[in-house]
Amino acid sequence: MTDFWKRFARNRQAVLGLIILFLVIFVASIANIIYPEDPFLYSKFPLSAPGENGFLLGSDSIGRDVASGISHGAKTSLLIGLIATLAAVFIGVIFGAFAGYYGGFVDDILMRVTEVFQTIPSFVFAILLVAIMKPSIESVVIAITVVSWPAVARLVRGEFLGLKNREFVQACHTLGMGDLRIMLAEILPNCLSPIIVIGSLMVATAILIESGLAFLGLGDPNVMSWGFIISDGRSMLRVAWWICTFPGIAILITVLAINLVGEGLNDALNPRLRERN
C-alpha cells in the first residue's frame, strides 16, 4: 500500500488533482454549515455583482446566492457522478465477465446487446432517456449509467478473455472450483486496476453529462446543481457574467482534478506503462 502511494505521489499532477478533489468534497460536505438556508431561496438583491450585498460570488436574476448554489451543487454533482459510475461499473463488469469468460454464443449475444447501446451517441441517448422518464435525480442517474456501462463491459471482457486461459485459472478448474467463484475470486481481482482507472475517469464524464442535462433544463428542478445555475444564467451572460462563470469554473476544475487523479491511478497501478516518460 505504501508502495502504491509512493508511485502515485511520483506524478505531481495527480497529487494536485487529489488535493483539488478533496477541496471540492470538503466544500460539498460543509455546504449545509456555511449556507444553512435553501439555495433556492431568493433575496431582494437580484443580479448583484460578486462582493456586493454580501454575495461572495454574486446573485442571479431572482437574487439567489451563486456561492451557495455552487456549494450545494457540488454535493449533487459528485453524488450523481459517483452513483452513476458505480452502477455502470457493476453492470459493465457483469456483462463483460460473462461475455469474456464463457465466450462463444454467450459472448456473441452480450456483445451485440452492448453494441446496440454503443451505436447511439451517448449524450443524445441520455437526453432521450431523461426526456422519456421525466427529469428527476433518479432519471439522470439512470440515463448516465445506461450510456456509460458499455465501455466498462468491453474493457472487462477483454481482460477476462486474456486471463481465462492463464494457467492459474486452469489450476482452479482442476481443483473443481465453480465458474462463479473463478470469475469473482480469481479473475476479477486481477483486472481491478484497469477497472479502477476507467471508473475514476467515468466519474468526470458523468459530472459533465449531468451538467449538460441540467443546462438543457433536463435536471431535477428541485435539486440545485452546477448545470442548473449555468442554464439559468445563460440568458444574462452579458449583463451578469458571474452567474455562468463560477459554476463553469467549478465544473472545469473538478473534472480536471478527477482526470488527473485517474491518470495518476493508471500510472500507479500499471507501473510498466510509466516507462514511456
166 binds other proteins (CB under 8 A): yes
Smallest separation (angstroms) from other proteins to the CB of 149:
22
Smallest separation (angstroms) from other proteins to the CB of 88:
24
Smallest separation (angstroms) from other proteins to the CB of 99:
13
276 binds other proteins (CB under 8 A): no
Residues 185-204 that bind other proteins (CB under 8 A): 185-186, 189-190
Q: How far apart are CA 59 and CA 69, in angstroms?
A: 10
Q: Which of 12, 173, 234, 274 binds other proteins (CB under 8 A)?
A: 173
Which region, judged by CB under 8 A, interacts with other proteins, from 123-131, 151-159, 168-176, 263-271? Answer: 168-176
Q: What are 261's three cell numbers?
A: 487523479
Smallest separation (angstroms) from other proteins to the CB of 277:
14
Q: Which of 168, 180, 221, 252 binds other proteins (CB under 8 A)?
A: 168
Q: How far apart are CA 56 and CA 76, in angstroms?
A: 21
C-beta closer to other proteins: residue 61 or 190? 190
**Residue 40, CB half-sphere, CA atoms under 13 Å: how many?**
7
Closest CA to 95 of 23, 41, 149, 20: 149
134 binds other proteins (CB under 8 A): no
C-beta closer to other proteins: residue 182 or 260? 182
52 binds other proteins (CB under 8 A): no
Q: How far apart are CA 67 and CA 49, in angstroms?
A: 12
From residue 243, alpha-carbon distances to 25, 32, 141, 165, 247 in Å are 22, 21, 25, 56, 7
Smallest separation (angstroms) from other proteins to the CB of 175:
4
Closest CA to 156 of 109, 122, 204, 107: 107
Q: How far apart are CA 203 and CA 206, in angstroms?
A: 5
CB 100 within 8 A of CB 156: yes
Smallest separation (angstroms) from other proteins to the CB of 114:
14
Q: How far apart are CA 231 and CA 227, in angstroms?
A: 6
Note the residues at the interface with other proteins (CB under 8 A): 105, 108, 166-168, 170-177, 185-186, 189-190
